[in-house]
Amino acid sequence: MEDADAQAVMKDVLETIAKLFQTKAIVRGSGTDPGEDILPRVDHPRIRYSCDFWDKKPYTPSWMRNFCANMLGAYI
């Protein structure tokens, strides 16, 4: 798999996760944790760590910054 292909696949996966979190949050309403049914709770800190890591890199693509801002701001 080429780097561009891998990046496209990763983008699709992360955007799907974000959409699932957003959909679950809308269905449940605010004040609940939509993530428990989407990703195991043990993975939530991993997302936070990854977003913290990538946020510090000057070459992080804008889609990744958007994913992290949405996830960290609302769900994780």
pLDDT tens column, 9-28: 999 999 998 888 888 765 55
Pick the range with the lowest mean pLDDT from 21-25, 27-31, 51-55.
27-31
Tokens describing residue 71: 């996830």
Q: Look at residue 62 in the predicted model and tell me its pLDDT.
A: 93
Quote the Cα angle for 67-68-73, to 5°. 110
Contact by Cβ (8 Å): 61, 6:
no
Query: pTM of the full predicted structure?
Result: 0.72
Contact by Cβ (8 Å): 74, 44:
no
Q: Look at residue 74 in the predicted model and tell me its pLDDT.
A: 66
